[in-house]
Amino acid sequence: MPHSDHDRLILDQFTRQADPFADLAAHSAASSMRLVLAASGVGADDEVLDVACGPGLLTCALARVARRAVGVDVVPAMLERARKEQQRAGLDNLAWQAGDARALPFADASFDRVVTRFSFHHLVDPAQALGEMVRVCRPGGIVTVVDAAPAAQARAAYDEWETLRDPSHARALTLAELEALFDGAGLTRRPSERFRLDMELEAQLAASFPQPGDGDRLRARFREDIARDVDRPDLGAHLRDGAVWFAYPCAIVSGRR
């Protein structure tokens, strides 16, 4: 899909998702936030950039530890919600910037830590975005990417299901593919981590904007996997008190410049 068409999908989806995305409890889960903060190695003297920051949940968490944090996103509605999160948190060492992950509006070597969370699967060319993250990271600094990373044999089904939920989904990368991107970018990789992000299907759909009929198609796929006791997309679907739950397979990959 040409960038221009995909860009329109991202702008449409995330303008509408700004508030429900931020309000979904799983996106602020303390356990996964701790993993990201540890992987990034952020400290009190660091300047940190959060790329494709969305509603600023991770950016605010970084700002509580770092000397200064900056969030950059291409969707104005997300930045508006991020400012509300900052105000609610009472943080004054934060700044927000409109900008595209493919061409970050910052000079070379501007930050000690550069992170992104749950953005790469929306990008047509994640290698380009990683190159930009490396460019704006200072020598000796750390670049961290957090994203869904299904098993290789499940990736086709995962992509199909996620596109039903969110048409701006492009392609998930496996952990091996994410690590290969880091190697190709000349980063010295640190040990990667995996975790699962629990999600209730109806809550996730309520925070998403599928195409007409696609929400029901996705529900049917989940129910079919549960009934057959299979797991085509590596989501571990199961029933809990009658509701469908699943868990995104996530990876954290970081490397030193």
Q: Give pLDDT tens digits for 183-239.
A: 999 999 999 999 999 999 999 999 999 999 999 999 999 999 999 999 999 999 999
Residues 150-194 have pLDDT tens digits of 999 999 999 999 999 999 999 999 999 999 999 999 999 999 999
What pLDDT, on a 0 to 100 scale, did the predictor assign at position 29?
A: 87
| Spatial distance between the Cα atoms of 153 and 141, rounded to a whole number of angstroms | 34
**Beta-ladder partners of 48:** 69, 113
Which superfamily, per CATH, for 3-155+168-198+249-256?
A: Vaccinia Virus protein VP39 (3.40.50.150)
Residues 14/54, Cβ–Cβ less than 8 Å: yes
What does the pLDDT read at residue 2?
A: 47
DSSP state of 14: H
Q: Which residue has the tokens 């079919």?
A: 224
Cα distance between residue 99 and residue 71, in whole Å: 9
For residue 76, give every residue at least 6 positions away whose Cβ sits within 8 Å of its Cβ, in sequence order, or none.
15, 98
The C-alpha atoms of residue 145 and residue 74 are separated, in whole angstroms, by 18
Strands (E), 57-156: 68-73, 94-98, 111-117, 137-148
The CA distance from 43 to 111, in Å, is 12
Percent of the chain whose pLDDT exceeds 90 = 94
CA distances from 128 to 104, 123, 156 (A): 11, 9, 23
**What is the reported pTM?**
0.96
Q: Are strands 94-98 and 68-73 parallel, antiparallel or unpaired?
A: parallel
CB 148 within 8 A of CB 116: no
Could you give the CA distance from residue 219 to residue 24 in angstroms, rounded to a whole number?
A: 19
Angle at 71 between CA 65 and CA 75, to 5 degrees: 150
Q: Yes or no: say if 142 and 252 are a contact pair by the CB < 8 Å rule.
A: no
Contact status, residue 119 vs residue 52, Cβ threshold 8 Å: yes
Ranges of each domain in the chain? 3-155+168-198+249-256
